[in-house]
Amino acid sequence: MNFFNLSNIENFEAEALKIFRYQSLNNEVYKRFIKLLHVNPDDITSVESVPFLPVEFFKSHDILSTNKRVEQIFTSSGTSGMVQSRHMVTDLGLYEESFSKGFEFFYGDIESYTVLALLPGYLEREGSSLIYMVDHLIKKSNSTYSGFYLNELESLGNLLVKLDDQGEKVLLIGVTYALLDLLQFRKFNLKNTIVMETGGMKGRRKEMVRTELHNILSEGFGVKSIHSEYGMTELLSQAYSKGQGVFETPSWMQVLIRDTEDPFHILENGRNGGVNIVDLANFNSCSFIATQDLGVKINDSQFEILGRFDHSDIRGCNLMVV
């Protein structure tokens, strides 16, 4: 896809508007949503004026912009009885290209890493897009030590120390509560390891603000900063933070911040609001998603996540009834 090679903001906007026009014609759910907003797609001349589809629609509708066969259905995690989001993926190759190029852009060649994955909550269920991505990275890493670790925290800790002491480049990627569980076994002083959290206490531990959490993890693993991955079931691209909770997007992904009282008004940099995401890799579903996250945009490619909406539904969902 051409959008993986975008070089500047102007090129991004041109490609995004082209995809918007395609999806406004070929995505029946998105087309209906736009119509109910009384928006004429031909009048949209900037990304800021594009209608963003509330992410909740992935719970109640099949969001597709193509008639191609669905290759994989990714589902969100949640407690029992909770309605899960469903992302119908018709091109797994597109997803693989997106997360592979994204990782390489921020961290270099995956083949130079040993990937140790501590993702028990995700590993114990089916349909996780995160597990699919990490499994692919593990297989591409070319290290016999790379793999998933479920309950073997002591052996994982020993391996982590061994590889780090040998000067191996290690990526330890884990859900937040599992990383904290690992620190109950021992403290570390890692020099060659990237510790990356994917978020989520999943009810296993009390929630903490990011600065408190990252301080605990930094001290426990003996690293200067804690990296983070920002992604979701409904997206095919990820943003990464190399510290301080500041995320950066690849060239085919962009974040906009909307006014919490007026979801159709995009705020300038530095103001807090709802997080809208443009993910051009979502070509076959919907590239324009209004999330439930609250955040602030720092510049064209960097943003912070500040929390989530207190209420469960984003304004605009009641325009369409299942």
Tens-digit pLDDT profile for residues 137-192: 999 998 999 999 988 899 999 999 999 999 999 999 999 999 999 999 899 999 99
pLDDT grade for 95, boundaries at 50, 70 and 90: very high
pTM score: 0.92
Strand duo 302-308 + 288-297: pairing: antiparallel
**Counting Cβ atoms within 10 Å, is residue 59 exposed (0-12), middle (13-18) or buried (19+)?**
middle
Residue of higher predicted confidence among 194 and 4: 194
**Distance in angstroms (rounded) separating the CA atoms of residues 64 and 280:** 14
pLDDT for the residue 123: 74
Residue 268 CB partners (closer than 8 Å, separation 6+): none
- Could you report the per-residue pLDDT of 214-240, keeping only the tens digit for each? 999 999 999 999 999 999 999 999 999
Q: Which amino acid is at 302?
A: Q
Other C-beta atoms within 10 Å of 147: how many?
17
Which residue has tokens 């569980």?
181
Give ∠ CA 317-318-322 in degrees, rounded to 5. 90
The tokens of 122 are what?
A: 């995700």
**In the chain, alpha helices (H):** 9-26, 28-36, 57-60, 92-107, 120-123, 129-140, 153-165, 176-183, 210-221
Other C-beta atoms within 10 Å of 2: how many?
10
pLDDT for the residue 40: 97
The tokens of 48 are what?
A: 């800021």
User: For 93-97, 154-158, 180-184, 205-209, which range has the lowest pLDDT when averaged over its residues?
Assistant: 205-209
pLDDT for the residue 202: 55
The tokens of 295 are what?
A: 């955040």
Whether the per-residue pLDDT at 318 is higher than 70: the answer is: no
Mean pLDDT of 87-111: 97
Helix 176-183 / helix 210-221 crossing angle, nearest 10 deg? 40
